[in-house]
Chains A and B, each alone.
Chain A
Amino acid sequence: MLEIKNLHVTVDGKEILKGIDLDIGAGEVHAIMGPNGSGKSTLSYVLAGRDGYEVTKGSVRFKGKDLLDMSVDERAAAGVFLAFQYPLEIPGVTTMNFLKTALNAQRKARGEEELDAVRFLKLVREKAKPLNVTDDMLKRALNVGYSGGEKKRAEVLQMSLLEPSLAVLDETDSGLDIDALKTVAEGVNALRSPERAMIVITHYQRLLDYIVPDVVHVLSNGRIVKTGGKELAHELEKSGYAGYGADAA
């Protein structure tokens, strides 16, 4: 599904990712942990195609295609989704209108029929309910005035509506209370399938109790310094990043 080879990325002239290798197969969930500033969000932005992240070396292939060659919205339509660490507020665009525009843009790009208002509304309600996203939230401007937890739930709603084949969740658990964490985890788990892959970026093993990963990576100072099974998260919880070259923070 996703093959990252020797990826080097520079931001504002500073090398942040210093040779990442990552292979994620369909159906797999990979967790990435690592100290602040180690480059986790940078990796997620590069995958989504944000401006200002210069790939100086290496390659990223997604479903066999060169991901770096695709525009931001092409990547999304091809099935890449990033749940932002800090979701943006967009005044004046209602969440409902945004979701409809996004879903139909992706369907159109894939040559599928666009959903009319009625079918869309039904679908969105169905997806919103288990995430406790209320009609009132849907009517408001996107993320404007949402609490930290509401923003994260809204990101997961976007994901479950858009049904990506590769979801990158950047600290979707931060700022969530324990009930919201469970709700979000259930939303994510509902999407797990043999056709989908996920990258779950987190600082806390707690999330991984709910979204159980197949593989855990430790990212430190722009490199993956350790890879292991789900028990690695528990180890990290106990001992911290000391001993993983965690000098970047």
Chain B
Amino acid sequence: MSEKATQKLVETYRGAQSALPGAGGWLARRRETAIDAFTQTGLPHRRLEEWKYTDLRQVLEKAILVPAPAHDGALVLPELHSATAFSAIDRYVLVFVNGVYQPGLSQLAHLSKGAELCALAEVLHEQWAKDIVERRFDDARQAEDIVDLNTALMSDGACLRIRKGVKLDKPLHLFFLGADAGASHTRNLILLENEAEATIFETHMGEVASFADIVTDVALGEGAKLNHVKLQDESSEAIHLSTMRTRLAASSKLSSFTLTLGCGVSRGQNFVLFSGEGAEANVDGAYALKGKQHLDQFCVIDHAVPGCTSHTLFKGVLDGASEGVFQGKVVVRPQAQKTDGRQMTHALLLSRDAAMNAKPELEIYADDVQCAHGSTVGELSKDAIFYLRSRGIPEAEARRLLVLAFLDETLELAPHEDARDALKLLVSDWFSEAGL
């Protein structure tokens, strides 16, 4: 460990250590191991294959790495489109400002029986929380290593446990607002026991130079079902690092969809591990980037058991001098026969200066499987634009129609109808604002 950003983060840990949740308990010891490991490896950099397109070391060099202050005083949630995107949907809301849970802004009345929801500090005495934090997925080591940073510094987060057979009656909305510049380290823990079901919305917004480091650990019991819709609309100075790790027991189902509109530099990691047969994971997303935005989607699906299905489709449009990255891997272990694995990524470049790097990979060690992967990078078809214009549709509108049509295929995969409509509206607005 020599470089500055790593050092600063380690110092932050040393300074905050005693005040972090779980001091004196198992987590304190776990944090120590994690910070040691992090000190060893340091922040990832471009010489590591998995970080080739996003040099986190360089990105964080100039970032504000000290924790954002606990926000005090009256706070009004922003009235931005993306802030209110889901507000017409009857839902529970858990608000975090600068990474700190805000009971006053949250709406949690009458949570269904059998659903337990609390902030990180309150759950640490529970065995399930310990189990879930201790997990490692191990199929993309250098990508997962960064979780150590979060383990050492995690200070708050949403923890949801749904008991066997219980279905959460309304979506749970985790709303993260960056109100001041600075870092936050969030850990969400989600456990759906056998046959339990839940829908979670996750929004990240803010107009500040925040560094949000989020790890969401999910465990799905047999037959459990999680729908997850994430919306990212932060400022162009924001750095967003998120890792979602989902372990699926037999016949469980994860449907996760991410829409990214606002970010400065964003790295979204998704790890899926199938541990029981007949499970299904859909990890999809859409994005629309402009200016100098940089978005890196990293997705590893591990078919460790037979008979599971995984589908991944990421589609995005890139304008200005923005840059997109998709790195994905579907691993099919020797015993994982009857796997159905698909991973696709398609990008449209709207400007000459925009760029896309796509690298979907398959690693197949079983023979009786159905797997496919692919990626395309293209531009809007001039002929199609001409055809629409020849019917009187102005050029900007023609482009907008074609781009929305392009994104529609993946937006359709967002696993909640009203949320899906809300996302479509946001994307449509994005074009009006981008003035394309």
Give the interface of A toward B (CB within 8 A): 48-51, 71-73, 75-77, 81-82, 84, 87-88, 90-93, 97-98, 101-103, 105-106, 109, 141, 158, 162
Contacts and interface: CB of A to CB of B under 8 A. Distances in A.
B330 to A, nearest CB: 25
Interface string B391-420: 111110110011011101100000000000
Ranked nearest first, the 4 interchain pairs of A and B with the lowest CB-CB distance are A92-B405, A76-B392, A106-B392, A102-B391
B388 interface: yes
A101 B400 CA distance: 11
B394 A73 contact: yes
B386 A51 contact: yes
A73 B405 contact: no
Given A73-B393, A73-B394, 9 more contacts: A48-B386, A49-B389, A73-B391, A76-B393, A88-B384, A102-B391, A102-B392, A105-B392, A158-B391
B127 interface: no
Contact of A88 (B387, B395, B397): B387
Contacts of A93: 401-402, 405
B382 A51 contact: yes
A51 B409 CA distance: 29
Given A88-B384, A101-B397, A105-B394, A73 B389 contact: yes
Contact of B390 (A48, A90, A91): A48
Contacts of A48: 386, 390
A162 B393 CA distance: 12
A84 B387 contact: yes
Contacts, number: 77
Nearest to A80: B390
Most buried by A among B386, B388, B390, B398: B390
Interface string B353-394: 000000000000000000000000000001110111111111
Contacts of A88: 383-384, 387
B389 A76 contact: yes
A75 B395 CA distance: 13
A141 B402 CA distance: 12
Contacts of B391: 73, 76, 81, 98, 102, 105-106, 158, 162
Interface in B318-342: none
Contacts of B382: 51
A110 to B, nearest CB: 9
14 contacts: A49-B390, A50-B386, A50-B390, A71-B389, A72-B390, A73-B394, A73-B398, A75-B390, A76-B390, A92-B402, A92-B404, A101-B397, A102-B392, A106-B391
A75 B389 CA distance: 9
B385 to A, nearest CB: 9
From A49, A72, A87, name the one whose CB has the most chain B CB atoms within 10 angstroms: A72
Contacts of A81: 390-391
Contacts of A51: 382, 386
B436 to A, nearest CB: 16
Nearest to B412: A92
Given A73-B392, A73-B393, A101 B387 contact: no
Nearest to B391: A102
Given A73-B395, A101-B397, A90 B389 contact: no
B402 A72 contact: no
A97 B393 CA distance: 12
Contacts of B386: 48, 50-51, 72
B390 A82 contact: yes
B91 to A, nearest CB: 29
Nearest to B405: A92
Contact of B384 (A72, A77, A90, A105): A90
Q: Which of B389, B401, B409 neighbours the largest number of chain A CB atoms within 10 Å of its CB? A: B389
